[in-house]
Every structure is written in structure tokens, then in C-alpha cells.
Amino acid sequence: MPFFNVRMGCSKQMKKMIELNHVQYSYILPSGERIQAVRDISFTIQPGEHIAIIGANGSGKTTLVQLINGLITPDSGWVLVDGYFTSDRNHHADIFSKIGLVFQNPRDQIVASLVEEDTAFGPENLCLSHSEIRERVAASLTMSGALHLKERQTYLLSAGETQRVALAGVLAMRPACLIFDETTAMLDPQSRKELLDVMTTFHKQGFTIIHVTHDLDEVLTADRILVLHAGQLVLDGSPYEVFKDEKALREYSLILPDLLKFTQDLRSYFPDLADFYRSEEALLTDLGKIPRSGVGGERTNKMIQQNDLEEDFIHFNHLSHTYMAGTPLAQPTLQDITFSLAKAESVGLVGHTGSGKSTLLQHLNGLIRPQQGMVRIGEFDLSRADVDVKTLRQQVGLVFQLPEAQFFEMYVGDEIAYAARTLGYTGKLRDLVQIAMQAVGLDFEQFVDRPLFSLSGGQKRRVALASYLVVQPQVLLLDEPFAGLDPLIHQEMIQLVNRLKEEGKTLILSTHTMRDLLQIVQKAIVLHSGKIVSQGTTVDLFFQPDLHDWGLEIPLELRIAEALRKKGWEIPVEMVRWDSIVGWLRTRMAGGVDARF
Ligand SMILES: Nc1ncnc2c1ncn2[C@@H]1O[C@H](COP(=O)(O)OP(=O)(O)OP(=O)(O)O)[C@@H](O)[C@H]1O
Ligand SMILES: [Mg+2]
């Protein structure tokens, strides 16, 4: 296309923030194989729009946002950002300063070793004055909730903290459009809420927001949702339009957001509810109109005593850990941790980002050795220098928070077989690998020989889970294992972990997703700034007065149950699963209670 015509085209379309026209993009693997990630996509985004992008793992979301900010350019078709073609090298700086992209893996975005320096990196490259840089750094760190981290070493930050710092670096460039690629995935519920509020605030201030997420409840407030499937744009519409056809969603590996699913269930009992709510507040307001029908349920509030957990297969005794101990950068991370777990028992480990969960788990497979205090697992005393770590790791499987941190091999098949090989497994490895890949929804033929670096975020996560499944050690340590999985496979993985649990595995599940916690474990330990502040049943956990301070929140189904309870529905407090709450409502209705309002 001649340059002149292109510029003419631009001037007519100056109002558009972003325009894609028949964009195609393929990755070429070292083997020469082409992976077509984006197929003939066209759409426009107006300035100030709030767009959500959803779709299964590998559907092309990350590729698409990288095409938008010019990190990669189309094989054919074009992308126009505020009047500039992303393929026009002369305007790369203009595009980068317009579009701020917070990466799916935030560590890829950190350049400096000190947080403050990292945030200053972008503005420094714009050759701004010292005072302007200082002002931008402080404002950006404040907006992303990372001001308290400003003097910290970037490589020692937890995953959630890294996400905040990455966001600050982007904000410091003062972009007009902010793209978040699964930025909420590693955050604790409170931080997640805060980040969503940040997005809403930026949107109100006129920023264009593009939000890629697997959490479908987060997209209900968007102006428009783009649904990707196998590299194609298959739906582009309002949240109402996108979610009205549940069958079509399934084809794209999507499900209904919880809010809409719960609304659907409630509507069979309370038919006057609307069929679509964009916010939980709106649903709760309508639920509030249901007439009183009885007295509120009593809360038992019985905490499990320390002793209830004291049969020890796994035992932590006054464990403390400080990173960079003895240096001015010393970072106390665990303090006086004491708890025990019996064989075949399972427990959830929850707490704000950076509370020490990953550090605690890494003590159990010998990755970190006790500095102070003791850790024992079965006959292995990890405080002893001569502990047989190799044998220990045959019995203790750790699925890391960031899957790439655990990869040793180049290719998917080798990686999944790795642990089995090192343990001297002699059976038919190929068959084992195939079964494990099937269990995590990775097509064997398509993926077995793929280099790991070429996988999407969620595909990497599936490989990490599959490598655990090949060996199936007795102890299963899961560190935020479901982050980044698309909604359908997320549900399947929960069922899988529950099956493993029923088979008698000892399980510690660290998670920020309160619903996952409820669906898998009955007991939970809360870490707060490196200390255990609570341990008990998950039911009791949700009635703890400090829940908010610990960075946690009650899951949506319990908030709905609580709202109904306040209106006089006597839903028993120990009822924490949505199925049982709906079941209870069904029996009430069978008893002839008229719930119409
Ligand atoms: N560097 C790469 N080299 C080769 N193929 C790649 C590369 N990055 C991604 N792909 C492939 O391109 C397709 C789209 O990947 P992309 O990362 O855009 O998906 P996604 O929708 O962001 O997935 P997720 O939800 O898992 O993050 C996938 O098939 C993926 O395996
Ligand atoms: Mg992605």
C-alpha cells in the first residue's frame, strides 16, 4: 500500500485509539513449524473504552496485545495506534509511550535490581528532569500499591509484589491506554480488588483499558468483550451479548461468570430477579427485596485447636527464615512457624501476596533449608545437612507458582518425563506422558515435541501439573497451581486434585482463590507477614474479623448466602458450597415458602 494512501486513511480515522485490519500472525518454531496464533482479526477501539479479552489458553490473547503495543508486527494486515502504524519503525517510541502493557509474567518486565530504579527506568529514557522523574516514580508506586516496596530488591519480591512493581513501571510512562495481561492472576483477593479499582479509576479518568483475564467475573463491567478462539475473534459485544449463549461459550472453553451462574440458580427460586447483573451489588440489592421468612442462622465460630492438627507427618517447629540474612537488605520472611499435618490430610495455605507461602512450601522439598527451627516430613529431618534430598523429592512433589521456574528441559515431552527419568523409572515413559498430558488437556501429538518457551502462559502451567502427575508422589504441594488456567480446565484441575486427595495424598494448597480453597480443603492456615495468625476450618476462616486485614475476602457465594441470611433466610452457616446452599433453598421452596417479591 503506497505511503500516501495510508496517511490519508489515517486522517479520516484519527478518533480511533486502536485499529486492527485483517491481522495475521504466526510464530515459527526452530523446527520450521508455523504456529498461527492470530487469524484475520479486525476491530477498532475508541479512546476511553474499557475492553476485556477472554478465551482459552493458547487462543491468542497475549499475541494480540503484543501486536497492539507494537512488540510484534503483523505478517499481513495492519495495526494502527493513535494514527501510527505499528510497523512504522520511526514511530515505535510514540506507540510505546501511548500503550502501556503489563505482561502476563511480570518478571519479564523488571529491568533494575532496586524497585525505585526499576520504576524510574522508563521516565529516565524520556530524558525528563530529576524532579519530574522523582514525582512520577512516587505517584506510580502509590497508584500501583507498591510504595512500601520502593527500597526492596526486585528479584526478592513475591509474584504478586512483582506484578505491582511492573504496573508502576508502566504507569510511570503515563500511557493513554493500559493493557493488563492477566495482571490479577497472582494477587490476593484484596490486592486484586484494589487493582480492579485502579483500572476503574483510570477508565473514569479517560484512559483506554484493555484487560485480558480468565476471571470472567472481572469482565462484566467492561464496555465490550472480545472472545478469541484458536486465533480468531469469534465474539465482539457487550457482556450481556457475550454471555447470553452459554452453549456457544462452551465451544470456546468458557463458562458463565459465577455471578451469572448464581443468578441463574437463584432465579428458579426468586423469579423476579433480573436475568443479568453486571455487579454483585446490583444482585444483592434485588435479593434484599425478598421478604423475611424466618430468623437468621447462628454462627458456631468454633476454631480448631492447634492440637487438632498435631499428628505429625509434616512438622514445622519454630521455623524462621530471613532472605539476605546478615546484610543490610535482610528480609525476614517467616517467623516462628509451628504446625503439623497428618498423613493424607490436606490444608489450605492462604495470606496476602508476599506473606511467605511459597517460602514455607519450598522448605518442604529441600529447596530452602531451615535457618532457625526445624522442618520434618516423614523420616526426613530437613534441618540436617545430610538429609537425602533426592529420595525426599520422590515423595514430595511441588508445583511452583511460576511454572517456568521449575522447567529443566527444552521440550514438553522431555519435561513431563524428567522427574520420572531422574527417579529411575523404567516403565513405558511415553505412555505415562501421554496419559498425564491428556489429564491436563494438552493434545499429545500437537504438544509433545513443542519447545517449552513457545507455550502460552496457561499451556506452561498445564505442563507443570502434568509433570507432577507422571510421578504422583505421596505429598502434593501446590503453590497457586490454577492461576492462568482457562475457566474450563480450571474446573477440571480442581476435580483432579480432589481425586488425588481422595486417593490419600497429603496436600498443601497455597491459593488466593477462595472458591478453590472451599472446593478442595476443609482446613486452612493463614500467614500474615510471615507469621501464622490463624488456623482452623475454612468455614470459620470466613468469619474471622481480621479477614480483610489479612488480604482475604469471603467468596461470592458466601456473600450471597450472607445477604439472604440477613433477610431472614436461615441458611445454616456451615453451608459453604454453592450446591448445598441452592439445595437448601430447594427444600425450603418444597416446604411452600413463597419467595416472590
Ligand atoms: N514464542 C512463541 N513461539 C511459538 N509459539 C508461540 C509463542 N508464544 C505463543 N505461541 C503459541 O501461539 C498461540 C497463542 O499463544 P498466546 O500466548 O497468544 O495465547 P493466550 O491466549 O495468551 O494463552 P494463555 O491464556 O495461556 O495465556 C499458542 O498456540 C501458543 O502455543
Ligand atoms: Mg496469555
| Candidate of 25, 34, 35 to mutate for ligand 1, largest count of ligand atoms within 8 Å of Cβ | 35
Q: How far is the CA of 403 from the centre of ligand 2 (A)?
A: 14
| Candidate of 38, 65, 455 to mutate for ligand 1, largest count of ligand atoms within 8 Å of Cβ | 455
Round to whole Å and give the CA distance between 27 and 36. Answer: 6
Residues of the chain within CATH 3.40.50.300 domain(s) are 13-252, 308-541
3-state secondary structure of 217: helix
Q: Which atom of ligand 1 is nearest to the CA of 456?
A: 17
Q: How far is the CA of 515 from the centre of ligand 1 (A)?
A: 27
Residue with cell 491436563: 440
Q: How far is the CA of 455 from the centre of ligand 1 (A)?
A: 5
Q: Is the CB of 534 under 6 A from ligand 1?
A: no
| Residue 426, C-alpha cell as written in the block | 523404567
pLDDT of residue 78: 98
Q: Which atom of ligand 1 is nearest to the CA of 460?
A: 26
Which of 477, 402, 478, 517 lies closest to 163, judged by CA? 402
Which ligand approaches the C-alpha of residue 457 most closely? 1
Which of 212, 72, 100, 201 lies closest to 142, judged by CA? 201
Which ligand approaches the C-alpha of residue 452 most closely? 1
Identify whether the C-beta of residue 169 lies closer than 8 Å to the C-beta of residue 118.
yes
Round to whole Å and give the CA distance between 164 and 366. Answer: 29
Burial per residue of 395-416, b for 16 or more beta-carbon CB atoms within 10 angstroms, e otherwise = bbbbbbbbbbebbebeebbbbb
Q: Is the CB of 501 under 6 A from ligand 1?
A: no
Q: In this structure, which topology does domain 308-541 adopt according to CATH? A: Rossmann fold (3.40.50)
Round to whole Å and give the CA distance between 276 and 294. Answer: 28
Q: Is the CB of 27 under 6 A from ligand 1?
A: yes
Round to whole Å and give the CA distance between 364 and 526. Answer: 18
Read off the pLDDT of residues 514-526 as tens digits, 9 standing for 90 and up. Answer: 889 999 999 999 9
**Residue identifier of the C-alpha nearest atom 8 of ligand 1:** 454
pLDDT of residue 294: 47
Q: Is the dihedral of CA 174, 180, 185, 189 positive or negative?
A: positive
Predicted TM-score of the model (pTM): 0.88
Q: Is the CB of 62 under 6 A from ligand 1?
A: yes
Identify whether the C-beta of residue 376 lies closer than 8 Å to the C-beta of residue 382.
yes
3-state secondary structure of 204: helix
Q: Which residues contact 20 (CB under 8 A, 6 or more apart)?
A: 41, 42, 43, 44, 67, 68, 77, 78, 79, 80
pLDDT of residue 270: 87
Q: Is the CB of 55 under 6 A from ligand 1?
A: yes
Q: Which atom of ligand 1 is nearest to the CA of 458?
A: 26
Pairing state between β 346-350 and 506-510: parallel
Which CATH code is given to the segment(s) 13-252? Answer: 3.40.50.300
Q: Which atom of ligand 1 is nearest to the CA of 461?
A: 26
**Residue identifier of the C-alpha nearest atom 12 of ligand 1:** 37
Q: Is the CB of 36 under 6 A from ligand 1?
A: no
Q: How far is the CA of 470 from the centre of ligand 2 (A)?
A: 25
Q: How far is the CA of 185 from the centre of ligand 1 (A)?
A: 17
Q: How far is the CA of 459 from the centre of ligand 2 (A)?
A: 9
Tell me which amino acid residue 145 is: G
Q: How far is the CA of 175 from the centre of ligand 2 (A)?
A: 21
Q: Which atom of ligand 1 is nearest to the CA of 56?
A: 25
Q: Is the CB of 462 under 6 A from ligand 1?
A: no
Residue 80's beta-bridge partner residues?
A: 19, 85
Number of other residues whose CB lies within 10 A of the CB of residue 336:
14
Q: Is the CB of 454 under 6 A from ligand 1?
A: yes
Residues of the chain with pLDDT under 70: 1-15, 292-311, 589-597
Question: C-alpha 343: how far from its chain's center?
Answer: 29
Q: Is the CB of 155 under 6 A from ligand 1?
A: no
Which ligand approaches the C-alpha of residue 459 most closely? 1
pLDDT of residue 306: 44
3-state SS, 508-567, equals: EEECCCHHHHHHHCCEEEEEECCEEEEEEEHHHHCCCCCCCCCCCCCCHHHHHHHHHHHC
Residue with cell 474479623: 545
Which ligand approaches the C-alpha of residue 103 most closely? 2
Long-range contacts from 389-396, C-beta under 8 angstroms, 24+ separation? 389/365, 392/365, 392/366, 393/365, 393/366, 393/473, 394/423, 394/471, 394/473, 395/473, 395/474, 395/475, 396/364, 396/365, 396/473, 396/474, 396/475, 396/477
| Residue 415, C-alpha cell as written in the block | 519435561
Which of 511, 451, 502 lies closest to 480, judged by CA? 511
Burial per residue of 30-61, b for 16 or more beta-carbon CB atoms within 10 angstroms, e otherwise = eeeeeebbbbebeeebeebbbbbbbbbbbbbb
**Residue identifier of the C-alpha nearest atom 6 of ligand 1:** 454
Number of other residues whose CB lies within 10 A of the CB of residue 318:
12
- Cα first-last separation, the chain: 63
Which ligand approaches the C-alpha of residue 56 most closely? 1
| Residue 442, C-alpha cell as written in the block | 494438552
Residue with cell 505442563: 463
Q: Is the CB of 37 under 6 A from ligand 1?
A: yes
Q: How far is the CA of 287 from the centre of ligand 1 (A)?
A: 42
| CA-derived radius of gyration, the chain | 25
**Residue identifier of the C-alpha nearest atom 25 of ligand 1:** 57
Q: Is the CB of 455 under 6 A from ligand 1?
A: yes
Q: Is the CB of 253 under 6 A from ligand 1?
A: no
Q: Which residues contact 141 (CB under 8 A, 6 or more apart)?
A: 115, 116, 119, 147, 149, 150, 165, 168
| Candidate of 38, 63, 101 to mutate for ligand 1, largest count of ligand atoms within 8 Å of Cβ | 63
Q: Is the CB of 105 under 6 A from ligand 1?
A: no
Q: Which atom of ligand 1 is nearest to the CA of 28?
A: 4
